[in-house]
Amino acid sequence: MNTQNNPQTNFETLLDSLSTQGYVVCENFLPEQIILALRDEAQKRYANLEMRAAKTGLLNQSQQSNIRGDQIMWLDEQLENSAIQAYFEQMHALRMLLNQYLFMNLQAFETHFAIYTVGGAYQRHLDQFGHGNDAKARQLSSVLYLNNDWQVDNGGELRLYLNEIEYLDILPTAGKLVLFLSAKFWHEVRPAKRERVSLTGWFRSRSHSLI
């Protein structure tokens, strides 16, 4: 992995924490100018009405928006600008390390921009949902936050449940990457009191549909 561009990211520590806890929070995952460019791009696409209300499965539109209030846009690695490509490169490099050192056998990475407008939230859920053959393919969830100067009273925390009673509230501040095992960690997004921008992604194992 190219660590020259982001000297702050210590991948050894990251892999270590992930393997012992099943989750990790990592600051300054990408250089600041890339984070800025990613945020600009998300906001531009939002302004151009390219984002769509996110869906969760079988429910209709108004049931959906009670559960999850973000708008999203999936990304296609081949077609995107250089900041997004830099992000993909870093995630693929991370995927290689996860496979090499933690034997995770991750085959692919899928990702979308997400914007929560004021009041937007996402109720408690697991990222392995749905009934398709593919439902269990998501192994590791990732969220990279793009929000400048986020304060505690801006809300919008990622609430990660560590067990039945304990949880961790994580502020969605620019450059922070959170990784957690998709099958294990229930989580929610607390109501955001200002616009909240992120890149959410999933490292996937091979689709189960071929078995």
- Rounded to 5 degrees, φ, ψ at 86 are -60, -40
Task: Give the nearer residue to ligand OGA in terms of CB position, either 35 or 189.
Answer: 189
Q: Which of ligand OGA, Mn ion, none binds 158 (CB below 5-8 Å, type-dependent)?
A: ligand OGA
Q: Which of 106, 164, 165 is nearest to 138 (CA)?
A: 106
User: How far is the C-alpha of 96 from the C-alpha of 90, rounded, in Å?
Assistant: 10
Is 127 a binding residue for Mn ion by CB under 5 A? The answer is yes
Given a contact cutoff of 8 angstroms between Cβ atoms, the answer to whether 180 and 140 are in contact is: yes
Task: Give the nearer residue to Mn ion in terms of CB position, either 85 or 205.
Answer: 205
Given a contact cutoff of 8 angstroms between Cβ atoms, the answer to whether 176 and 170 are in contact is: yes
Given a contact cutoff of 8 angstroms between Cβ atoms, the answer to whether 40 and 34 are in contact is: no
Site string for Mn ion, 94-113 (x = CB under 5 A): --------------------
Task: Give the nearer residue to ligand OGA in terms of CB position, either 98 or 189.
Answer: 189
Q: Which of residues 90, 200, 201, 204 is near ligand OGA by CB under 6 A?
A: 200
Residues binding ligand OGA (CB under 6 A): 114, 122, 127, 143, 158, 187, 189, 198, 200
